[in-house]
Amino acid sequence: MPVTAQIHFLLLSLVAGMLLAGIQFTGLWLTIKRLPRSSRPSVLAMGSHFLRLAITLAGLAAIALAGDWVHLVAALVGFVLGRVVVTYFWSARSSRGEAA
């Protein structure tokens, strides 16, 4: 595989990891916001957890099966970066008093 294609796939893995983090942590934030209004908070919390876990693991497994371990590492780095971005975004929104 040419070097440029490898770099593109690494960048794609990084972005995919960031997207997975966005899904994971935005879903977590939305779940936490809805828990006080829920009639069955334990079902909501567990259902949300397992759905987010399944999406994240499926995405990481797809990346791991599609490429080298280096691509999985790039996706995990993207996941951590995505967590930082999403955490900053939601904390900034919450401090301004904006609702979801």
pLDDT tens for 47-62 read 999 999 999 999 999 9
Q: Report yes or no on whether pTM surpasses 0.75.
A: yes
Q: In whole angstroms, give the CA distance from residue 57 to residue 20.
A: 9
| pLDDT given at position 86 | 92
What are the structure tokens assigned to 10, written together? 């690494």
- C-alpha angle 58/67/14, rounded to 5°? 70
For the chain, what are the domain ranges?
3-95
Mean of pLDDT values over 35-44: 96
What are the structure tokens assigned to 47, written together? 């259902």
